[in-house]
Amino acid sequence: MTADEKPFSKKNYYMMGGCLALIVLGFILMSGGGSTVENGFNPEIFSTRRIVVGPALSFLGFLLMAFAIVYTPKKNK
């Protein structure tokens, strides 16, 4: 298979890898333990990290992944 027949270039794969890392990081930031007491309430579940930063990073990763898939690098010929 020649380079012209391949659907993605090396740059596309690097971009997709970075996007995947962003998505995983967003999910890690959203994770966390719940309450250890059966009837207790842990206010940490509503932290900014879990309800704003984590989902925003994951969403950005998904948007950039779509861009990484459709991106076509310029040919230097």
pLDDT in tens, 6-26: 889 999 999 999 999 999 999
Q: What is the pTM of this model?
A: 0.83
Residue 77 in any domain: the answer is no
Query: Residue 43 has what pLDDT?
Result: 79
User: Which structural domain range is residue 53 located in?
Assistant: 10-31+42-70
Residue 23 in any domain: the answer is yes
Residue 3 in any domain: the answer is no
Q: Is residue 51 over pLDDT 80?
A: yes
Query: Residue 3 has what pLDDT?
Result: 65
Identify which has the larger pLDDT, 22 or 43.
22
What percent of the chain is modeled with pLDDT above 90? 61
Residue 76 in any domain: the answer is no
Residue 20 in any domain: the answer is yes
Could you give the CA distance from residue 16 to residue 43 in angstroms, rounded to a whole number? 35
Closest to 28 (Cα-Cα) out of 64, 3, 53: 53
Count of structural domains, the chain? 1
